[in-house]
A = this chain, B = another copy of it.
Amino acid sequence: MNSDLHVLVTGAAGMIGQKLIARLMREPRLGGKPIARMTLVDIADPVAPKGAPFKIQTRAGDLSLPGEASAAVADSPQYVFHLAGVVSGEAETDFDKGYRVNIDGTRFLFEAIRQRGHKPRVVFTSSAAVYGGPFDGPVTDDFHLTPHSSYGVAKAIGEQLLADYTRRGFFDGVGIRLPAITVRPGKPNKAASGFFSSIIREPLAGEIAMLPVEEDTLHSHASPRAAIGYLLHAATLDMAKLDGRPNLMMPAVACTIAGQIEALRKAGGDAAVARIRRVRDTLIERIVASWPHTFEANRALALGFVPDKDFDEIVAIHVEDELAGKVPA
């Protein structure tokens, strides 16, 4: 077996995948060792970024198809970041595809790693979508998983598989339940949660954003940068500290819409805030109300996962990382 450090990223073309790769290009070490190689897997052939301080190999592949998972781990990567998956909306509209990619793809990858026998660290991105309530206060570390979506069900199943493969010694898995990622870069999308990012991102770019819910609506967020920090911390965490429960809710910054708007005002002034249009949407209100609002992620905090400080910092990170530090006038 090659002892050079080799990192596999599935779902490498996604937003989290791209940011993880960029971060590892800037800080090309894991667990104190220099990264020698990365393999990037995604459905469409992921583009290898230029100027990486290590070799990059790309692979177009659907892990749920025969042989693909084995091929992806054929070189025995010591770190596997399993980010691949069909997103929430698509998993709901295309049941078969969602189950195939999100459940079979994950199981086949885990099984290919088991067959390989080299026992890597596996970091799996789960989601707060595993929670379905009923909620009576903040979600705690021992709260049950009752997802309202096929996406959430697939994540909950992935967590169970990860925990069992880890318990049995097939690999060292850590599952991290990501909260809403805010401010999500890119274009507005149709996700019901899209406005949490839109009301910051669009006004700072001089564009109009729609706000479909009341200003007292409370939600919990992590910046993309904090999320990448969670992934890297999960990759190097001492497994012994997990007490056999390797799936963890990640900490998040709880903030009302009013609080988000005040953070926007600090970064972009009244002009930015004036670009928010209040257009109530009772369907979105109902969906958002069914989500958990706050988390007591005590285990993750005790294990050293570091959240954003507050929503001001979340906005500042967006300005730094996406707008090159400058808010357009």
Contacts and interface: CB of A to CB of B under 8 A. Distances in A.
Interface of A: 95, 132, 134, 141-148, 150, 153, 156-157, 160-161, 163-164, 167-168, 243-245
B160 A153 contact: yes
Contact of A144 (B95, B145, B167): B145
B146 A144 contact: no
A157 B156 CA distance: 8
Nearest to A95: B168
Q: How many copies of this chain?
A: 2
Nearest to A246: B146
Contact of A245 (B95, B132, B141, B245): B132
A133 to B, nearest CB: 9
Nearest to A104: B107
A150 B168 contact: yes
Given A132-B244, A144-B144, A160 B156 contact: yes
Contacts of A141: 144
Nearest to A170: B95
Contacts of A161: 153, 157
B163 A160 contact: no
A70 to B, nearest CB: 16
A243 B160 contact: no
Name the 6 nearest CB pairs between A and B, nearest first: A153-B164, A142-B144, A153-B160, A156-B160, A157-B157, A146-B245
11 contacts: A134-B142, A134-B243, A142-B143, A145-B160, A146-B245, A150-B164, A153-B160, A153-B161, A153-B163, A157-B160, A160-B160
Contacts of A150: 164, 168
Contacts of A243: 134
A200 to B, nearest CB: 32
A258 to B, nearest CB: 30
A156 B247 CA distance: 14
A12 to B, nearest CB: 27
Nearest to A92: B168
